[in-house]
Structure 1
């Protein structure tokens, strides 16, 4: 039987003693594909650890969590063995909310604080939007994914692909849209919010609101592009992450 971390986590470049492990959390319905190029862009001192939630890749047959705290609890158990080294978290869209709640849960368990928390393309909790996307029919849900970008329209036109992709997308949207948005305190580490300048899903003010949720330094970075700005310019984004982890070029 696999250990929990072997199901949740992908380590394309495993290291026993990295300077820092960087957990990378995907968007709603997303997979590790969002970050696969990062292993060749991050410096050797940083070990990328890609998070694969239930309902996708080789976890397709696993039940989806019923609420966001259940997802966070499962992920926390998986990452605990890797916290013997300095660590940081990068979460995109829904993944930013999961990353924040993950850090808070691990801190309550008396684990070491992360070196940095990166929250990408997500409004701060006090600006949480909620929504009803998870209630849309398959055609409307596919159209929403196409509108946001990051998913090939050609793939979503294929019934077999929809059958594989949409259940996880719908399940994740249900988690984030019904999320209570009541985190229990700020994090004691630096935080960087990242946003695409043409992202229609949040405003710069909503992204800047993350400053309330850290007792450390805060910075807001804006990049060209929309909701999936990081897919358009992965090298630029990874370089910004590297600099904030204080890893020399």
Structure 2
């Protein structure tokens, strides 16, 4: 298996594969417990970006055009089974770009893109680089399971390069105006108190696909999916049955 992919629960003959893309600064371990929320026939795979966890010695990748083709190639090398991609925050944009490349390569087994905690990226001017203090302020304003680590100087020194890289990637990323429409269905998931994206703003994702579009609003902020992990996992697998 590619170093980009981590199977949190290997399944010999999966009926469905759920591929999860972490947020900026996040790692594959964020989804470690998700297999316990799903039927044993569902294989849960998480994307592990370079420069963190077991890949900490590898160079970080600061652009979407360099990152998403490598992830798409890793997914194309897997045995094709019905697959759902789910990305949270930055991971939603990475999942979308990876899916564009999968479909361009002829892959038809990805049936759904689940977009969590992110509005549709609009073609616009690239955001200027942020200072370290601006990065930390942006991250801490969103909360999340590791917000307190920024109070520890050693942890701050360890994680800041990863966050700096990921924000550079997402701040410089702009969706192509001529991007083809997806064939896969699209589902959005949004916290009702998310400061970054409103449920109405998430509706713009309906314009990127010829497939079905569904949306769900859950109670919480940008990291609403932490307390609602079980429901989010089940919605990703079946938008109408969770």
Superposition TM-score, scaled by structure 2 size: 0.92
For the pair 1:111 / 2:104, whether they are aligned, the reply is no
Q: How does 1:73-152 map to 2 (within 5 A)?
A: 73-126=69-122, 131-132=127-128, 134-137=129-132, 139-152=133-146
Rounded to whole Å, the distance in 1 between the matches of 2:148 and 2:113 is 34
Q: What is residue 239 of structure 1 aligned with on the other side?
A: 234
Unaligned runs of 5+ in 1: none
Q: How does 1:1-249 map to 2 (within 5 A)?
A: 5=2, 7-126=3-122, 131-132=127-128, 134-137=129-132, 139-182=133-176, 184-244=179-239
Report the secondary structure of 1:161's partner residue: helix
Shift of 1:66: 3.5
Q: Is the 8 A contact 2:123 2:174 kept in 1?
A: no
RMSD between aligned residues: 2.0
Rounded to whole Å, the distance in 1 between the matches of 2:16 and 2:165 is 31
Count of aligned positions: 241
Q: Is the 8 A contact 1:197 1:223 kept in 2?
A: yes
Rounded to whole Å, the distance in 2 between the matches of 1:19 and 1:88 is 11
Rounded to whole Å, the distance in 1 between the matches of 2:148 and 2:62 is 30
Q: Is the 8 A contact 1:38 1:238 kept in 2?
A: yes
Unaligned runs of 5+ in 2: none
Name the CA shift for 1:130/1:221 in 2 (closer, same or farther; >3 Å).
farther
Rounded to whole Å, the distance in 2 between the matches of 1:37 and 1:71 is 25
Rounded to whole Å, the distance in 1 between the matches of 2:85 and 2:137 is 30
Shift of 1:125: 2.6
Report the secondary structure of 1:11's partner residue: strand
Mean Cα displacement is larger for which, 68-77 or 174-183? 174-183
Rounded to whole Å, the distance in 2 between the matches of 1:205 and 1:128 is 20
Report the secondary structure of 1:17's partner residue: coil
Name the CA shift for 1:207/1:83 in 2 (closer, same or farther; >3 Å).
farther
Shift of 1:180: 2.1
Shift of 1:239: 2.4
Q: Is the 8 A contact 1:34 1:231 kept in 2?
A: no
Report the secondary structure of 2:62's partner residue: coil
Shift of 1:130: 5.6
